[in-house]
Amino acid sequence: MVQFSEEVQSAIHEGKALVALESTIIAHGMPYPANVETALLVEKTVRDAGAVPATCAILDGKLCAGLSTDQIELLGKEGARIAKASRRDLPYLVSKKLHGATTVASTMIIAQMAGIRVFATGGIGGVHRGATETMDISADLQELARTPVAVVSAGAKSILDLKLTLEYLETYGVPVLGFQTDEFPAFFTRRSGLNVDFRMNTPQEIAELLHAKWSMGLTGGVLIANPIPEENQIDPDTIERTIIAATREAAQAGISGKQLTPFLLARIEQLSGGNSLKANIQLVLNNARLAGRVAGSLALITA
């Protein structure tokens, strides 16, 4: 069902550590050419950490794990013209033989099909601000509850209601691990004032917990919260004011659903003078580095 690149196919055959990567960040998360440059740099970072990257997407209706440079370039250039694909969109895109850029949810699905247990992203989706009225809750959270893949992220996107997002994950039994932190990071900043479930200080500790969870037959994934490097974070008060302004503009324009997050991220980049994009790139690289190390440790445990 999944189409592998030659590099990923060889890695699976040889039992090497693999890290899944999403493609929504390429098509919808950053402008061209920064999106393509970042995607290739993220893949290099995974390799440097000792694992093999498997960027996921839907191309001509095929679920892909591992993309060529040309395929990444296609996603980057086409940008928002590529469908943003979550779980509900996969059957349509496959049946119609269309392209799709994978979200956290759909990347987890492809990773599971491919036998990949570790996935690096920027930040997960979650419960949106005002969700008590709009019921706008990302499918990423349900995917974490049902699909056995560990997701390394800089917490959840700070445009969200982080407290409700953590409450949702607790309800569905998703462990939230803090890598060398007791506090849940807030994407652009290291601090949110909210606690993680468990602090883990090494990739080996994380890998041992993953192995224990899945060996017991417990379903679902694990969220590994990896704070943005201190030198790259944005002042919390500054980014909060920017988020509030962008959220107000989205409400006035009637933007919601799957268009909301790309709009907010793009508007925040504009309002921050490009600082949010720089921070986004650095946190993604930081997550890719940790994911590669966790995947390597897990591969040794399960060999």
Point out the residues that are catalytic.
Answer: 22, 157
What secondary structure does DSSP assign to 164-224, as a single string?
HHHHHHHHTT--EEEET-SB--BTTBS--S-B-SEEE-SHHHHHHHHHHHHHTT--S-EEE
| Cβ-based neighbour number of residue 57 at 10 Å | 29
Does residue 32 contact residue 73 with C-beta atoms inside 8 Å? Answer: no
Question: Which tokens in the block code for residue 186?
Answer: 């807030």
Neighbours of 268 (CB within 10 A): 24
CA-to-CA dists, residue 271 to 28, 105, 186, 244, 246, angstroms? 18, 28, 18, 11, 8
Q: Bridge partners of 63?
A: 2, 58
Distance CA 295, CA 276 (A): 28
Q: DSSP labels for 92-127?
A: HHHHTT--EEE-HHHHHHHHHHHT--EEE-S-B--B
Strands 52-59 and 100-102: antiparallel
The SS3 call for residue 61 is: coil
